[in-house]
Structure 1
Amino acid sequence: MNVIAVDDEQLALKDLMRALEKAMPDGVSHGFSSSRRALEYAENADVDVAFLDIRMPGMNGLDLAKRLKELQPEMHIIFVTSYDEYAIDAFSLHATGYLLKPVNMDELVRELTFAGERMGEAHARDDGRASGGCSRVRVQTFNGFEVFVDEKPLSFKRSKTKELLALLIDRRGASITTREACAVLWEDAPYNASQRSYFRSLVADLRSTLVSVHAEDVVVKQRDSLAIDPGAVDCDVYHFLDGDPIAVNSYKGSYLPSYSWAEFSLNRVDWPYE
């Protein structure tokens, strides 16, 4: 892991560098007393994690974070500051973490561990895409429902087929029977042979759509039930419910807005830790 630390206060920078050396003996860390020098380094070297002070002369830490993310979008930004009033601004930049000075060693190790786990997940997704695995499938539920395969939008012949997939995503691996699915998708409409037949055609259409992009393992079909395989998709709401701070920050109160039945899931999304 290649880490940079930026702080215009020399003593604070030295303390952080010593802490980083203890926290990651096998890693590499570089300290900079100015934003300009840190930015120059990042223009020529891959950086995994950047620990940034916020209040600095010239280019402050928030502006530096923006520039660093433009250079290397996958870089993890962790702010280290004496002032907690910057937390909202920090996470609006999709910061991975936020530490208050003086840095506590346990908290520093926690942030490094989390960043390392996120890097491992990213590598696993990249490996899955390269090998044609189902991790190629990315699902967006916030601010509208969309599905991407190899970062290309997945097209559906029928809007109800897309809604069926959204319903399965919402259940996060819990199976749903034909009768239950019909009750959700058609609300007050009577459950009859015609409805069951149409639902079967939706299932066939969904399978055909997934087969066309070699992602058929995303949906698990049993005798009279369907379920999503949560491990086969990279989904924003799953990351949110797992407490991922980046996913938490990306949620702006809009979850599957096109589907009225999703309103019943909003309490779970808004308060995942109750």
Structure 2
Amino acid sequence: MNVIAVDDEELALRDLTRSLEKVWPGCELHGFSSSKRALDHAEGHPVDVALIDIRMPGMDGLELAKRLKDAQPGAHIIFVTSYEEYAIDAFAVHATGYLLKPVDLNDLKRELTFVYEQSRRTSPGSTSPSRVRVQTFNGFDIFVDGKPLAFKRSKTKELLALLIDRRGARVTTREACAVLWEDAPYSPSQSSYFRSLVTDLRSTLASVDAGEIVVKQRDSLAIDPSLIDCDVYHFLEGDPIAINSYKGTYLPSYSWAEFSLSRIEPSRK
């Protein structure tokens, strides 16, 4: 996301940009103390979100917002001001949000999360939401058309969790068995039981017309990440909604998931 912050008061601009860096560390951020410089930038660079003070000398924030919208109709405008009385004027120029100074981090996070979600839904390259949603933070569950999917065997559900964790990488029978039964040596009986889990997984998914999310080849399985809406995938892509939802717990029921935490929390490496 390309973000600009505009405020003629240097201290206020510095505070706002610092808050933005905390709440949305992955954004491309530019700060301007002049409406003219902000507009010059917007005429040559993409702007997804503009956080604008209203009372500024010369071109005020309301005029800047109108001209930004002319230059980039898809830009989201969030006014950041000390004055409540401008709210009606602000929304007359189709502002997305209105924050009062001093800006509260939670309020800023809420506004940016809303903007991000709106942009993701309406961007030209966006696709319709997946029928299959997977939750890996604070527990593991899979939902199809909004309904939780039930499994006959807990190991079948764990196998699916393992495939989700691998993010499309293929897992062989021997590799999967080594993870699912970490204390037991590989054996023909274990291999046979694993094949029954695969059959159970595929039939469970097929029962809700979601069988295509698992790709099976001779001696390996993989998930198709493009067909699921998964919180950890969005997290790793820098999605602020997913980042804000992560509370330090990933696939907590499975001990093997501890080894994947280094991807989520680099400090654990």
TM-score between both structures, scaled by the size of structure 2 = 0.67
Per-residue deviation, residues 191-220 of structure 1 (Å, max 9, x unmatched): 101110110010000001000000000000
Corresponding residue to 2:174 among 169, 174, 179? 179
Please tell me whether the aligned partners of residues 77 and 96 of structure 2 are also in contact (alpha carbons under 8 angstroms).
no
* Structure 1 equivalent of residue 134 of structure 2: 139
Distance change in 2, residues 1:29/1:185 (3 Å): closer
The Cα shift of 1:240 comes to 0.6
* Structure 2 equivalent of residue 21 of structure 1: 70
User: What SS does the aligned partner of 2:142 have?
Assistant: strand
The Cα shift of 1:187 comes to 0.5
Gaps of 5+ in 2: 1-48
More displaced 10-residue stretch of structure 1: 201-210 or 242-251 = 242-251
Per-residue deviation, residues 73-131 of structure 1 (Å, max 9, x unmatched): xxxxxxxxxx6x6335522x37338xxxxxxxxxxxxx88x8534434997234xxxxx
Distance change in 2, residues 1:34/1:4 (3 Å): farther
* Structure 2 equivalent of residue 87 of structure 1: 105
Per-residue deviation, residues 42-93 of structure 1 (Å, max 9, x unmatched): 9xxxx8x7133333xxxxxxxxxxxxxxxxxxxxxxxxxxx6x6335522x3
> Does residue 226 of structure 1 match 2:229?
no
Cα distance in 2 between the residues matched to 1:94 and 1:160? 41
> Does residue 204 of structure 1 match 2:199?
yes
Cα distance in 2 between the residues matched to 1:38 and 1:265? 49
The Cα shift of 1:182 comes to 0.4
TM-score between both structures, scaled by the size of structure 1 = 0.66
Letter of the 2:127 partner, please give it: A
Q: Percent identity?
A: 57
Cα distance in 2 between the residues matched to 1:121 and 1:147? 28
Letter of the 1:87 partner, please give it: L
How large is the RMSD of aligned CA atoms in angstroms? 3.7
Letter of the 1:180 partner, please give it: E
Matches within 5 A, 1:1-274: 9=55, 11-24=60-73, 34=85, 37=88, 50-55=96-101, 86-91=104-109, 93=110, 95-96=112-113, 115-120=118-123, 124-126=127-129, 135-271=130-266
Distance change in 2, residues 1:197/1:243 (3 Å): same
Gaps of 5+ in 1: 56-82, 98-110, 127-134
* Structure 2 equivalent of residue 74 of structure 1: none
The Cα shift of 1:245 comes to 1.4
Please tell me whether the aligned partners of residues 146 and 153 of structure 1 are also in contact (alpha carbons under 8 angstroms).
yes
User: What SS does the aligned partner of 1:17 have?
Assistant: helix
